[in-house]
Amino acid sequence: MEQAIHIYRNDPAPQPANRELAALLGRMRRAAGLSKTNEKLAAYVGAHYMQVIFMTAGQLAGAVGVSQGSVSRFCINLAFRGYNDFLHYLRECVSKELTLPERLRYTTEQPDGVEEILKTEHANIDAVGRILQTPEYAQLKQKLSKAKTLVLLSARMSATLLPYTFYLFNKIRSGVESVMPGDPQWDTLELLDPKETYFLGFVFPRYANVLLDKLRSLRAKGFDVGFLTDVNFPYMEGLSAGFLRIPTTVHSIFDIYSAPILFVNLLIRDLAKESRHLKARLDRLEEIESGLYYKEP
């Protein structure tokens, strides 16, 4: 606990580069002064937050030697609704720096975490329903409908979402491209016409710099750029607008993209309902693809 005690004294201590996490540690430092129990919880979380993101309230209480009710009160003192609300925010904070070896280590140490993952997935799916009612979602649909050329961008693990998204968009409209770092088009995207092109990025942990730099470059050159992500990027220069927050589940060895995939599917559904010429396109595609799929003899 020596490192944790150092964090919550008044002497200077190293702060994480992650701004949200640094701010949360500051809130815990203030809450630590309210009681000895709070001090113990703040010290433990401050020293072991990479472990805490994989822990239930009961497990955290057991590790610190306090009651589960004390954990709940500590989270409320931090202005969260409860432990689950606190845990969701903490996971968002650390997802930027969570490495695969750390995930493997802590998921191995918490082998019974499937129920928690499933609860998180249910909450993420509920969140998608709320996102569909927002003005930002309506604006995204409008931009996608008007764009002559739609370019889907991503990198690293987030790019695993591109084949699915491209396949669906390519079914309902023309002028769709899917581009990743290393593709020949990556270095020539800035040559496209800003008046006719809309870029949609997929930016999920661990937030590849090559992708963020490309989105900034395109926006700086006058392109309309939007992106889907799971955290708020207000402090990132050049990426302060044009995004929708789609939750992911990070407390497994690899990110779980159920909610982003559901969001894309529902987005396609809404765009299809507003397309006047889609039936003719799909009828033509059905003719072209005749014989491609298995049928009972």
The CATH number that applies at residue 276 is: 3.40.50.10490
* Residue 104 resides in a domain: no
Does residue 103 surpass a pLDDT of 80? no
- φ/ψ of 240, rounded to 5, equals -95, 0
Instruction: Give the closest residue to 37 by CA, choosing from 11, 3, 14, 65.
Output: 65
Residue 26 lies in a domain: yes
Any idea of the CA torsion for 20, 25, 30, 34, to the nearest 10 degrees? 130
- Does pLDDT of 97 surpass 80? no
Specify the CATH number for the domain of residue 83: 1.10.10.10
Q: Are residues 138 and 31 in the same domain?
A: no
- With cut-offs at 50, 70 and 90, classify the pLDDT of residue 110: low
How far from 274 is each of 134, 137, 139, 172, 201, CA to CA, in Å? Answer: 18, 14, 14, 11, 23
Residues 213, 149: one domain? yes
Q: Name the helix (H) or strand (E) containing 198.
A: strand 197-203
Cβ neighbours of residue 260 closer than 8 Å, sequence gap 6 or more: 161, 202, 204, 228, 246, 248
Picking from 74, 94, 114, the residue at the C-terminal end of a domain is 94
Alpha helices in 53-149 (DSSP H): 57-64, 68-77, 83-94, 100-109, 114-131, 135-146
**Same domain? 78 vs 218:** no
Same domain, 144 and 267: yes
**What are the residues whose beta carbons fall under 8 Å from the beta carbon of 45, sequence distance 6 or more?**
28, 52, 60, 90
Residue 86: DSSP 8-state = H
Q: Are 131 and 275 in a shared domain?
A: yes
Q: Which residue has the tokens 């006047």?
A: 276
Beta-sheet strand order (sheet of 176-179): 176-179, 149-154, 197-203, 224-229, 243-245
Which pair of tokens denotes residue 1? 């606990």
Query: How many structural domains compose the chain?
Result: 2
Nearest to 242 by CA among 252, 221, 263, 227: 227
This prediction has a pTM of 0.78
Task: Indicate whether 272 belongs to any domain.
Answer: yes
Phi-psi region of 70 (alpha: psi -120 to 50; beta: other; left: phi over 0): alpha
Domain assignment of residue 108, yes or no: no
For residues 11 and 44, the model is more confident at 44
Q: Using the 8-state DSSP alphabet, how is residue 249 labeled?
A: B
Q: Which domain holds residue 157?
A: 127-288
43 & 170 share domain: no
Q: Has residue 175 got a pLDDT over 60?
A: yes
So what's the pLDDT on residue 54?
79
pLDDT at 197 exceeding the cut of 90: yes
Q: What is the pLDDT of residues 233-286, one digit of tens each?
A: 655 667 777 889 999 987 778 889 999 999 999 999 999 998 888 999 999 999
Is 113 among the domain residues?
no
